[in-house]
Amino acid sequence: MAADRNDTGYLLALASRRWNEILEQRFADAAFPEVRASYGALLVPLFEEDGLRLGELARRARLSKQTVTTMARLLERTGLVTRHPDADDARATRLFLSGRARRFQPVAESVLAELDQEVAKTLGGEQAAGLKLSLAALVELS
């Protein structure tokens, strides 16, 4: 099969870029212009469980430890997280949400819920649910 604009990977990448553009615009409209869509890789797990080690964040986000370390620095610079040494292991670092990130969480949840509704409206409820299941399966693709 020739690589073209109907390639699954190409379409996934294009859809992902568009999704991220929409997210970032809506975050900016809600007074969080510093939040990039890519920050979700760390923020979502921290919303679920604050104070995770960088290694655990890397595992959950499916990113390298080096990438997570770089992203953690960016989030720290924007005031969304703080980094602290792990009390049990001085070599490890834990990330904690800042007050700004806690104020952002309901905004992120609202924006994501709105987008889910738009997807359901565009595709239909069953197809939207199927898309979500399909994307979850692709995350586990070996």
pLDDT digits (tens, 9 = 90+) for 54-90: 999 999 999 999 999 999 999 999 999 999 999 999 8
| Res. 5 pLDDT band, cuts 50 70 90 | confident
Proportion of the chain in helix, strand, coil states, percent, rounded to 5 = 65, 10, 25
- Return the domain boundaries, the chain: 19-139
From 1.10.630.10, 1.10.10.10, 1.10.3720.10, 2.30.30.830, which CATH number describes the 19-139 domain?
1.10.10.10
pLDDT of residue 98: 98
pTM score, whole prediction: 0.89
- Please give the Cα distance from 111 to 46 (Å, whole number): 18
- Please give the Cα distance from 66 to 36 (Å, whole number): 19
